[in-house]
A and B are shown apart, each in its own frame.
Chain A
Amino acid sequence: MNAKIEVRETRLSLLIEETLIMKDAGYRLVQIGCTSLAAGSVEHANTLELFYSYDKNYDLVNLKVLIGKNAEIPSISGIYPAAYLYENEIHDLFGVFIKGMSLDFKGNLYKTAIPCPLNPDFQQKMRYIIAGFERE
C-alpha cells in the first residue's frame, strides 16, 4: 500500500478553519504533538511547533503551526472531542496556553517535578507558574 504522509504548514489564525476542513473531509484525529525549536536556531529560540496529525484511508496529514512566546492557541476539542487530552498534555509539558478545552485539568494531567519540563524557555515557565496559581 502506498499511503501518503503529507506535512502542511499553516498559521495559527487559520487553525480552526483548517481543522473544520479536515473534519468535514472525514479525517480522524491521530494526535497533537509539540516540539521546541530552540535547539535548531537562535532565531527560533522561543518558538514551539505544534503538529496536528490526521488520518484517512491510511494517508497521514500533519498540520504544522509555529507559535511564539506567550501565544494562546484555540482548542479544537469542540471539533474533535478527543483533542482535550492532547491539549492538556501540551499545556502541562510545554506550558502552552490553550483556550476553550472541553475538559481542562488545569495543569494536573501530569504531575511533574518541574513545570513544563519540555519548554526550554525559563520565562515561559515562570509565566506558567504564576498564571497557574491565578487560575486556581
Chain B
Amino acid sequence: MIKQTIIPFGPQHPVLPEPLQLDLVLEDEKVVQAIPSIGYVHRGLETLVTRQEYQEFVYVAERICGICSFIHGMGYCQAVEEIMKVEVPARGVFLRTIWAELSRIHSHLLWLGLAADAFGFENLFMQAWRIRETILDIFEETTGGRVIFSVCKVGGARKDIQPDTLVRIGQTLEKMKKDVKSIEKVFLKDNSVRHRLAGIGILTNEEAHSLGAVGPVMRASGIKVDTRMLGYAAYPDAEFEIITETAGDCYARCAVRIHEIYQSIDIIRQLIPKTPDGPVDVKVIGAPQGESYMRLEQPRGEVLYYIKANGTRLLDRFRVRTPTFANIPPLVKMLKGCDFADVPNIILTIDPCISCTER
C-alpha cells in the first residue's frame, strides 16, 4: 500500500486571495481526499440584522463581499421589497440590472486574471485586469465607488445615470469586446493554457446536480440553470440564452465565464435603449412583516436570501446562502484523484469567495 501524506493547503497560499484551508491526503502525487476548513473570516454579518434598522442594513449586505457587493445589496433590497409589496420604478430596476451585469463582467475579468496568475501567465493576468479597469471606471463615474457602490436602496436606486452617459457606457463596452476577444484567444486556444486546464478537475453532470453545484461550475458540467431566467429585475426585457459547456473541466469553467462576459455586454446593450425615463426610487415607509425567499444569479452562481420580518424596523432573520458555499462539496469531488500540481488551478476554477461563504 502506498504511504499517505497529509499536506495542508492554505489558509495562506499565493493563489488564494482569501483564507481557505484544505487538508490534502496524497498518495505519491495524487490527491485521494480533500477535507475543507473555513472559519477564518466569519464576521457574523447575518446577526447584525437584529441590530441595524432594515433600510440601513443594505450597507451591511453590500459588505458581505467586495466583488459581488452590488448584487448582495440588490438581493437584500428585492427581498424586503417583496415583503413590503414595494413597486420600484422601472428606471430604477433597469439601472440596477445594468450595474448587476457590469458587476458580472468585472468579476469574471478579475477571475480570469487570477486564473492566469495561478497557471503562471503573468502577462495575461495583467491584460485581464487592465480590461477590468474600464468597468471600474464606469462604476466610479456612475456611483462614485469602485468596490462598494451604495447605490441600491429599499425602493430603488440612490443615483440616476444620465441618458448620454448610458449611451457612452454602451459604446465603451462595445470597444471593450475587442480587448476581451484578444485575451479569449489566449485562454481558449493557447496550447500551454489548454494543457493546464483541459481534462483537469472534472465534475460530471450527475455529480454537479447531486452535489448542489451552482453558477458557471454547474453550467460547465452541462446543466442549463441560470437564476436570471426567473425573470427578476429587468431580465425579462433582454433576450439571452443560458451558456453551457459539457466537459465539466477547468477549461469548460473558464470558457463559460468568458462567454458570459459577452453575454453581459449584450444584455446591457439591449437594456440601454429600453431604459425608461422617470424616477429611480420611491419612498418606503413602514416596516416589513412576513418572510421572503429571493434567488438571484451572482457572477459565481445562484445566491439565496431569506428574510423574516416581524413588523418592526429590526428584522428577525437574514440568511444568505452564497454560491461559493454551495460549490465547496463539488470542489472536494473535483480534487479527488487529481495531481497535486493541479490543485491551485482547480480551486480557482470555482472562483472561491470566502468572505461571501462565511459572512
Contact = CB atoms under 8 A, between A and B. Distances in A.
A1 B212 contact: no
Nearest to A53: B304
Given A1-B229, A1-B230, A39-B310, A30 B304 contact: yes
Given A82-B326, A111-B42, A118-B47, A33 B295 contact: no
A70 interface: no
B231 A1 contact: yes
Counting chain B residues whose Cβ lies within 8 A of the other chain, the interface size class is 35 or more
B212 A30 contact: yes
Given A103-B35, A117-B47, A85 B42 contact: no
A128 interface: no
Contacts of A29: 212
B212 A35 contact: no
Name, among A5, A31, A80, the residue most crowded by chain B CB atoms within 10 Å (CB to CB). A31
A108 B37 contact: yes
A122 interface: no
Contacts of A105: 37
Q: How large is the interface on A (under 10, 10 to 19, 20 to 34, 35 or more residues)?
A: 20 to 34
Contacts of A81: 210-211, 329
Contact of B210 (A3, A60, A80, A118): A80
B316 A40 contact: yes
A110 B229 contact: no
A95 to B, nearest CB: 14
The A interface is mostly helix, strand or loop, or mixed, namely loop
Interface in B224-242: 225, 227, 229-231
Contacts of B139: none
B212 A109 contact: no
Contacts of A39: 50, 310, 316
A51 B306 contact: yes
A117 B293 CA distance: 23
Chain B: interface secondary structure? mixed
B344 to A, nearest CB: 22
Interface string A76-91: 0000111011000000
Interface string A29-55: 111010110011000000000010100
Contacts of B94: none
B210 A108 contact: no
A19 to B, nearest CB: 13
A1 B317 CA distance: 28
Given A36-B317, A81-B329, A109-B39, 5 more contacts: A30-B212, A30-B302, A40-B316, A53-B321, A85-B328
A33 to B, nearest CB: 5
A28 B50 CA distance: 31
Contact of A80 (B212, B230, B293, B306): B212
Contacts of B310: 39-40
Interface in A63-115: 80-82, 84-85, 103, 105, 108-112
A109 B328 CA distance: 13
A85 B209 contact: no
Contacts of B293: 5, 53, 60, 62
A110 B225 CA distance: 30
Contacts of B39: 108-111
B278 interface: no
B295 A60 contact: yes
B59 interface: no
B329 A35 contact: no
29 contacts: A1-B229, A3-B230, A28-B209, A28-B212, A29-B212, A30-B295, A30-B304, A31-B325, A35-B308, A35-B319, A39-B50, A39-B310, A39-B316, A51-B306, A53-B293, A53-B304, A53-B321, A60-B293, A60-B295, A82-B329, A82-B330, A85-B328, A103-B35, A108-B37, A110-B38, A110-B39, A110-B358, A112-B44, A117-B47
